Amino acid sequence: MTPPLYIALRFLVHRKRALLLSLAGVVFGVAIFIGTQAQTEGFAQYFIDSTLGSNGALIVRSRFRPQSTMLIPPKNSKTQASHRSYFEGIDDASAIMRVSRQFSNVVSCSPVLRGTLSARAGFENATVDLYGIDPALHLQTTDLAHQIVNGSFDDFRNNPNSVIIGSRLADVLNVEPGDTVQLLPPGGEYRRLIVAAIARSGIGPIDATRVYSHARVAQTLLHKPYTASMIIYKLRDPHSAPALAQHFETLFQHETQSWQDREESTLQLFLTLRMSAAITVSLIILLAGFGIFNVLTMTVLSKVKEIAILRSMGYRRIDISAIFLWQGAMIAAAGSLIGCIFGALLTWGVSNIPIRIRGLLYTNHFLVVWDWRHYMWATLLAIVAVTIASYVPARRAAELPPVATLRGSSV
Amino acid sequence: MNSEIRLSCHDVERYLGEEESRVHALRGVSLQLDPGSVHAVVGPSGCGKSTLLYILGLLDSPDKGSVAIESQLMSNLSDDELARRRNELIGFIFQFHFLMEDFSAQENVMIPMRRLGRLSEEEMLERAGGLLEAVGLGDKRRRPSRHLSGGEQQRVAIARSLANDPKVILADEPTGNLDTANSERAFDLLKNLVHQGEKALLLVTHNPAIAEACDWIHEMKDGRIIASHPRSSRS
């Protein structure tokens, strides 16, 4: 143990009240940081997982053809997009899927024929978003099987005249597995289908409108000449979806959208909430830093005599500052460690708070994320705040002239 | 310079304060301390005794003149180097003990040893125990210094000043806060240690009896040494 560390430890131990006050500030700041980040990111992560599980990380949609009216092609991709002619449906879904499966980031892909129609069950009516799917491929690409809350996916797979209905839509139509629901395309005739299962993705708008049917049934209902209006993709690294989307768009000449673009507004909202929480909590840690600054400044003032003694015994200026920096470091280390433990307990406690959300998301309790990076950032923030808070008193201590203290009143 | 000289200063000048309040505290002071010698500096308050002590102890720098320890000039050394020399070569004793209150007697004695870093924890404990034994505090080594009497605290300060076996001991009124019995005891202890260890001791004192018992008495007035009396000239 170095001499400054030894002395710092002794100084700290003998000022228990100041030590506890400083520690409390760091512990509180770190714990609150971890708790709020876990909670705000918990909702965001739940949304991301749910949207990826329902709509995939990437969607290839309408075929387009660039309009060649401009002599010089624009460089901006958005400007490029506004100068295209779009054609509904996917030309050759099988070929696109076959090529795209060659990409290492693609886990699986599934064609979907999508359209809007009316649904009726008993006296209840609703407008629904019909997804005509290939059950086997869709199972590989999405979390639909895990989203089933009532009924069975196998019943759907084995019966082409069956559908899977979103949980909130099922509530509206008042249907359960085994019931019959009628789907009515615009200008067409009702078709009776059996509800095989009810699915809950956790995202309100999906659960309130979505109906899954077999692709052939959807094609018949929607009167479409093509078998797929979009292809959804499951990716190994969903974060690299924007780059792959751009590449696919060029390669297949079909409009392609990543989940980041698709959910941009919601993701922005979550990011704003997280940033807001992070700023609030950072201010708490900053306040803790001010507390430590005060405590260490008071310690320096109360240890002027000891500093002069140490200097007279050959301790260097750097040793004196090290004593106070060590005190800060010990407060930061102990405070961060205890803060992380309290943060974990807080996160666990928050995750058990009952809350009934039936809007954008579906949840019965607070959603949290257990991420080691929250602990790392909280610790890093505490260390930076405490280091800054310790530096000034430490420097001040090192600059104290020992003679002025030792001299007393004599000249 | 003579290599036998432990500590010397030559023509030291020192100003204290700023502008109107500026005081010419030392006006060309020269002094040399031989091994095994005990020097007393006497004089009225404000004559520059403590200022001289802090300059000789490398805690303060002269505005003019030089200080040498064992013939090596200290003028051009960095602050860190001066601190190292202080730690290795000089032992300080102050009037008000200036012990670390929260530390035990032996921990106080170990503080200079820790900085020097030449001994293991066990060796430091052993040496501190030996020094405290030598000043008659062997049985109180673990007692917090604030729980010791004034005389005991001063003896701890003496033991601490000897922790790194310094060549020079500088004492600022080391007995000024003690009763007569304790004062004589502390001084005798110091004198014996200096004579046995071939160290040099310079002490600032107002106590005529203690000054008389020193090998040299240097009288100071208005920042100057106006007279130096060896023991032989006084008997």
From the CA of B232, how many Å to the nearest CA of chain A?
A: 30
Residue A42 has pLDDT above 90, yes or no: no
CA distance B235 to chain A (A): 31
Q: In Å, how far is B162's CA from the nearest CA of chain A?
A: 11
Distinct helix (H) and strand (E) counts, chain A: 17, 13
Q: Which of A304, A321, A411 is best to mutate for the B interface (most B CBs within 10 A)?
A: A411
Average pLDDT over residues A22-33: 86
What DSSP string runs through B83-141?
A: HHHHHHHEEEE-TT----TTSBHHHHHHHHHHHHT-S-HHHHHHHHHHHHHHTT-GGGT
> Which of A174-178, A267-271, B88-92, B94-98 shows the lowest per-residue confidence on average (mean pLDDT)?
B94-98
Only one residue has tokens 């020399």, namely B85
Give the whole-number percent of chain A exceeding pLDDT 70. Answer: 95
State the greatest distance between any 2 C-alpha atoms of chain B, in Å, as a whole number: 54
- Retrieve residue A174's tokens: 């008042």
Q: Note whether A151 and A159 are within 8 A (CB).
A: no
Residue A73 has pLDDT above 60, yes or no: no
- Kindly state whether B187 is in contact with chain A, defined as any CB-CB distance less than 8 angstroms: no
Cβ-based neighbours of B202, under 8 Å, separated by 6 or more: B7, B31, B33, B39, B40, B41, B53, B56, B168, B169, B170, B171
Distance, CA of A217 to CA of A308 (rounded, Å): 90
* Beta-carbon separation of B102 and A410 below 8 A: no
Structure confidence by residue, pLDDT tens digits, A327-351 = 888 888 999 999 999 999 999 998 8
State the pLDDT at residue A230: 92
Which residues are CB-neighbours of A389 under 8 A, at least 6 positions away? Answer: A289, A290, A292, A293, A296, A328
Domains of chain B: 7-98+167-234 (3.40.50.300)
Query: What angle in degrees, to the nearest 10, is found between the helix axes of B79-89 and A317-351?
Result: 100
Question: What are A266-322's pLDDT values in tens digits?
Answer: 888 888 888 888 888 778 777 777 777 777 777 777 788 888 889 888 999 899 999
Query: What does the pLDDT read at residue A70?
Result: 55
In 3D space, the residue among A19, A4, A12, A10 whose CA is nearest the CA of residue A291 turns out to be: A19
Q: Is the pLDDT of residue A171 over 90?
A: yes
- Higher-confidence residue of A196 and B1: namely A196
Transcribe A218-252 into DSSP letters: HHHHHT-SSS-SEEEEEESSGGGHHHHHHHHHHHH
pLDDT on residue A67: 65
Residue A37: its H or E element: helix A16-55
Average pLDDT for residues A253-270, to the nearest whole number? 88
Inter-chain touch B111–A310, beta carbons under 8 Å: yes
Contact B59 A14 (CB under 8 A): no
CA–CA separation, A148 vs A150, rounded Å?
Answer: 6
Which residues on adjacent β-strands are paired with residue B40? Answer: B203, B217
Residue B186: what pLDDT?
77
Buried b (16+ CB within 10 A) or exposed e, A76-85: eeeebeeeee
- Two tokens, residue B163: 């922790």
Nearby residues of A131 by Cβ (< 8 Å), 6 or more positions away: A112, A113, A114, A210, A211, A212, A213, A218
Query: Cβ(B155)–Cβ(B106) under 8 Å?
Result: no
pLDDT for A410 equals 39
Distance from the Cα of A317 to chain B's closest Cα (Å) equals 8
Q: What band does A122 get if pLDDT is binned at 50, 70 and 90? A: confident
Contact A402 B79 (CB under 8 A): no
pLDDT at position B122 is 93
User: CB–CB of B67/A293 below 8 Å?
Assistant: no
pLDDT mean over B99-113: 91
In sequence order, which residues have a C-beta less than 8 Å from that of residue B176 and are 6 or more positions away? Answer: B95, B205, B206, B207
Q: CA dist B165 to A100, B106, B129, B196, B219, Å?
A: 82, 16, 14, 12, 28
ipTM of the complex: 0.87
Q: Look at residue A411 in the predicted model and tell me its pLDDT.
A: 37
Per-residue pLDDT band for B234 (boundaries 50, 70, 90) equals: low
**Alpha carbons A350 and A365: distance in angstroms, whole number:** 9
Q: Do A411 and B46 touch (CB under 8 A)?
A: yes
Which residues lie below 8 Å from residue A99, measured CB to CB, with a gap of 6+? A251, A252
Tell me the residue length of chain A. Answer: 411
Angstrom CA distances, B101 to A300, A336, B144, stand at 15, 30, 7
In the three-class reduction of DSSP (H, G, I as helix; E, B as strand; rest coil), residue A123 is classed as: coil
Size of interface A-B (CB pairs under 8 A): 87
In chain B, what residues touch A308 (CB-CB under 8 Å)?
98
The pLDDT-based confidence of A81 (bands split at 50, 70, 90) is low
B114 and A6 in contact (C-beta within 8 Å)? yes
**Which residue from A minimizes the CA distance to B120?**
A1
B202-230 pLDDT per residue, tens = 999 888 888 888 989 999 998 898 988 88
Q: Which residues of A touch B25 (CB under 8 A)?
A: 411
CB contact under 8 A, A314 and B88: yes
Q: What is the mean pLDDT of chain A?
A: 86
The answer to whether B59 faces chain A, any CB pair under 8 Å, is: yes
Nearest residue of B to residue A409, measured between CA atoms = B46
Q: Each residue of B140-152: pLDDT tens digit?
A: 888 988 888 888 8
Q: Considering only residues 98 to 137 of chain B, which have any Cβ-Cβ distance to chain A shorter than 8 Å?
A: 98-100, 102-103, 107, 111-112, 114-117
Is A10 within 8 Å of B49 when comparing Cβ atoms?
no
Extents of the domains making up chain A: 3-52+266-405, 109-232
